[in-house]
Amino acid sequence: MNPIPRSEYPRPQLRRAEWRCLNGLWSVRGDDRREGLLKGWHRAGLGPEALSIIVPFTPEAPASQAEALRGLPCLWYEREFDAPPWGGPIMLHLGAADHWTRVFLNGEEVGQHRGGYAPFSFEISHALRPGRNRLTVRVEDSPSWSQPRGKQAGTTRWPIDYDPVTGIWQSVWLEPVPPSSVSWLYPRYAVKDQTLVLAAGFSRQLQGRLSVTLLHNEVVVAEHTVGVDQRAEARLSFAIPDPQLWAPEHPTLYDVRVVLEDELDGQVDRVEGYIGLRELSWDRDGLHLNGEALFLRGVLDQGYFPEGWYTAPSDEALRRDVELTLALGFNCARKHQKAEDPRYLYWADRLGLLVWAEMPSGRIFSTELVETLTQEWMSLLKRDRAHPSLVTWVPFNESWGVWHQGDRPEQRAWVDSIVKLTKALDPSRPVVGNDGWEYSSGDFWTLHLYEEDRPLEDRLAALRQAPESTVTSDWGGAPGRARRGALPGAEVSMLPMLLTECGGIGFGDAGGGAFAYGDIPETEHAFQRRIEQTLGEIAASPSLAGYVWTQLTDVQQEINGLLTFDRQPKLALETLRALFSQAGPRP
């Protein structure tokens, strides 16, 4: 076993040759009174009271070996490292830490970040010393629902919430980076013109040149250089001869080499990555990939792990989740209420799994939620929009945090503005503004419908006829509050309809507060029959352009997974694959 956990390069689409992983054994100390700053822990060290923790796992994860600290509102991390032999600026990267992070090097604060899901970096050269250095990270969280929390239990715990996450939960690493450096890549491909437009963002405005080389199987297929004139981004256009398109059946990837030269200081930044040549389009019939109709057979995936909780215990575990999703017969994963590790998207790119990316919600509309969620969403868009596997953006789910958008204009305005902001940063993908019900704006009309006495197609037809009619009245944020299919004035007649939550059938240990949708079958045969009945209704519906089954795995009290929490299938894998790989395509 590798002594350094999660030691693979954390940012697969923007790689540099030199870097140093800081994962592994750290010191950690709880600060439930939030007194560490006043007592100067960042200058004096954490002292003999400190325990040990394995980064990047949080105290809630057995893999952290620090479960005695779980549930504390504030954690201090500390570790020493030798100064790297690199010249020039050095960046400290944190993939994600929940929620308010302050970073100190040798007692000097080098940066702060708010948010639990987006990556952040600080230039630390000014605080770095020759020889030994002490890195201190303070992470504070709260149970408040006025910050994006996803499914982490907050001030209240629904039957669909899980234990929370506090602290560092993605990799920490060092990297030498010149002052003018590449920050992001964003490819867009047009099938008809066989043209790739690649945009690149920089750490600052500069005068210089951007050069890009595109390779397939180590053979150069295109090269281009453009001048950069006091800009913080640039774009290049390539004609691709004999393009090999990316699709689930053949997930072809091209390697990319990028060189950024700053004429002022002569510094050069070199990064490598990859792209997939593919084009998305959508109309009333649904989603199209490279001009071909694509029926979505999706599964809801919460992204929790028994040993690592929010953090996969290994890169192989992420790959295995993608492989299992495909082996079950699905072509898409809806990553639910979690901004997933970029390494998951890497394996989805490599193996050909489509992904819906969803922003973790808060549940109390407030200025804090508007500011934090909007900023994190923008960061995640820039982080992930180069992945060919990612096919849909979902900023809100089931009106969480915007419970009253039907009658409070400020809440509806926020949802609509986030849809437009997403389109401004990435017009190449569809956006689902509010998944599940109360459609206001976006490209798909998505509905969450579980088993009822009425046939599915009758319910869908009734909503088509009267979009403002009730979808549900006994679930969501306010039990007993009716949730409409669409809000007044919202136009859905020309939108594709997708069933983005369904099934939810529990099977397994039903004791001790277990949760599922509807009655829990007692036998494997009964479990299979319930799945077949629901899929049969989906297959018989002419209204649907796709579905998402709830869910991939059990998580804590939820026993409605097709797999147990440790990824064991509840029915034979071949049986499940036969069911889900055939369900859905319309005649």
Question: Helices 524-540 and 456-465 meet at what angle, rounded to 10?
Answer: 30
| Burial (CB count <10 Å: 0-12, 13-18, 19+), residue 384 | buried
- Write the CA distances from 543 to 9, 329, 354, 489, 495, integer angstroms: 43, 21, 22, 22, 11
% of residues, the chain, pLDDT over 70: 97
Confidence of residue 405 (pLDDT cuts 50, 70, 90): very high
> How many contiguous H segments (helices) and E segments (strands) does the chain have?
8, 33
What pLDDT digit, counting tens, does each position of 298-342 carry? 999 999 999 999 999 999 999 999 999 999 999 999 999 999 999
Chain centroid to Cα 210, Å, comes to 29
- Strands (DSSP E) contained in 338-487 are 354-358, 390-394, 396-397, 434-435, 445-448, 470-472, 483-484
DSSP structure class, residue 319? H
DSSP structure class, residue 249? T
Q: Among 172-186, 420-434, 461-475, 488-502, which stretch is predicted with the lowest mean pLDDT?
A: 461-475
Please give the pLDDT value at position 269: 97
Domains of the chain as residue ranges with CATH: 20-176 (2.60.120.260), 182-280 (2.60.40.10), 294-461+491-582 (3.20.20.80)
118 in Cβ contact with 379 (< 8 Å): yes
- Residues 137-150, mean pLDDT to the nearest whole number: 95
- Residues 191-213, mean pLDDT to the nearest whole number: 97
443 in Cβ contact with 546 (< 8 Å): no
Buried-exposed string 28-42: b where 16+ CB fall within 10 A, e elsewhere: bbbbeeeebbeeebb
Confidence of residue 586 (pLDDT cuts 50, 70, 90): very low
- Mean residue pLDDT of the chain comes to 95
Name residue 327's amino acid.
Answer: A
Please give the pLDDT value at position 207: 97
Please give the pLDDT value at position 329: 97
What pLDDT digit, counting tens, does each position of 60-77 carry? 999 999 999 998 999 999
What pLDDT digit, counting tens, does each position of 386-395 carry? 999 999 999 9
Please give the pLDDT value at position 474: 52
> 331, 313, 321: which is closest to 247 by C-alpha?
331
Q: How many CB atoms lie within 10 A of CB 85?
A: 7
Q: How many CB atoms lie within 10 A of CB 519?
A: 12
- Residues 239-265, mean pLDDT to the nearest whole number: 96
Buried-exposed string 237-257: b where 16+ CB fall within 10 A, e elsewhere: ebebeebebbbbeebbbbbbe
Confidence of residue 511 (pLDDT cuts 50, 70, 90): low
370 has a pLDDT exceeding 70: yes
Instruction: Find all residues with CB under 8 Å of 132, minimum gap 6, and list them.
Output: 80, 81, 82, 83
Confidence of residue 476 (pLDDT cuts 50, 70, 90): very low
Confidence of residue 109 (pLDDT cuts 50, 70, 90): very high
Distance CA(394)–CA(21), nearest Å, equals: 32
515: its two tokens:
């949760």
249 has a pLDDT exceeding 90: yes
Chain centroid to Cα 443, Å, comes to 20
Between 587 and 266, where is the model more confident? 266
What pLDDT digit, counting tens, does each position of 29-45 carry? 999 999 999 999 999 99
> 241, 217, 237, 215: which is closest to 226 by C-alpha?
237
Please give the pLDDT value at position 158: 84
Q: Are strands 434-435 and 396-397 parallel, antiparallel or unpaired?
A: parallel
% of residues, the chain, pLDDT over 90: 92
87 has a pLDDT exceeding 90: no
458: phi then psi, degrees, rounded to nearest 5: -65, -40
> 205, 187, 210, 226: which is closest to 13 by C-alpha?
187
